[in-house]
């Protein structure tokens, strides 16, 4: 697609070049949360946040999921990890 369309190539060059690593880190984060490893998931969430700030839209649901599934202590630890890095 990028080889044939000049408009798509311009979008890729100027704004969407780092979406793939961000989504990879976010996918690894969601996988770790699904496997009941919230601290490791928070670390990967921080990695995706360092690539692009659009991941902040997922933060309220992520923190609610940590609170619901793992409790307040894990929530505080995960918030400290996300803010610390």
- Average pLDDT of the chain is 87
Distance CA 45, CA 82 (A): 7
Q: How far is CA 24 from the centre of its chain?
A: 8
Whether residue 1 is predicted with pLDDT greater than 60 in this model: the reply is: no
Indicate the Cα dihedral angle 76, 79, 80, 85, nearest 10°.
170
Q: How many CB atoms lie within 10 A of CB 3?
A: 7
pLDDT over 90, % of the chain: 64
pLDDT reported for residue 21:
87
Distance CA 61, CA 40 (A): 17
Nearest Cα to Cα of residue 42 among 61, 62, 70, 18: 62
Nearest Cα to Cα of residue 80 among 27, 24, 38, 48: 38
């Amino acid at each position: 697609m990028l080889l044939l369309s000049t408009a798509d190539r311009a979008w890729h060059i100027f704004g969407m070049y780092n979406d793939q690593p961000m989504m990879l880190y976010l996918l690894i984060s969601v996988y770790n949360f699904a496997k009941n490893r919230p601290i490791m998931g928070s670390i990967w969430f921080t990695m995706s946040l360092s690539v692009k700030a659009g991941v902040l839209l997922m933060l309220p649901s992520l923190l609610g999921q940590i609170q619901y599934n793992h409790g307040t202590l894990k929530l505080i630890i995960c918030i400290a990890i996300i803010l610390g890095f």
